[in-house]
């Protein structure tokens, strides 16, 4: 989704790299799924080694995505799996 948004944004305002939006979107998705914003930022920076210039927008996107995920569902990929295991053990 970030890559698509980046392509649309680049067509409207040339000069912005599409890959930057893809990285920001990927970091936001990882942060929301894990509900661990600092871990998502560290993971994206370690995996890409080029995201240091995008640290501020990436931080904003990850924090917003994590807040929305906590507000909508409250479960991370880890806690959802734990509750699924508990229901199969009880049955």
pLDDT in tens, 28-74: 989 988 888 899 999 988 888 877 888 898 999 999 999 998 898 77
Q: State CA 91 to chain mean position distance.
A: 34
Residues 6+ apart with CB under 8 A from 65: 28, 29, 31, 32
The torsion angle over the Cα atoms of residues 32, 37, 39 and 44, rounded to 10 degrees, is 70
Start-to-end Cα distance in the chain: 39
Q: What's the pTM value of the predicted model, to 2 decimals?
A: 0.73
């Amino acid at each position: 989704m970030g890559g698509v948004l980046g392509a649309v944004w680049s067509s409207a305002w040339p000069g912005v790299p599409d890959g930057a939006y893809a990285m920001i979107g990927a970091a936001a998705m990882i942060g929301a799924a894990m509900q661990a914003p600092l871990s998502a930022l560290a993971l994206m920076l370690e995996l890409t080694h080029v995201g240091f210039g995008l640290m501020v927008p990436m931080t904003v996107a990850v924090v917003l995505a994590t807040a929305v995920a906590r507000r909508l569902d409250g479960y991370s990929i880890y806690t959802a799996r734990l509750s699924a295991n508990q229901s199969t053990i009880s049955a």
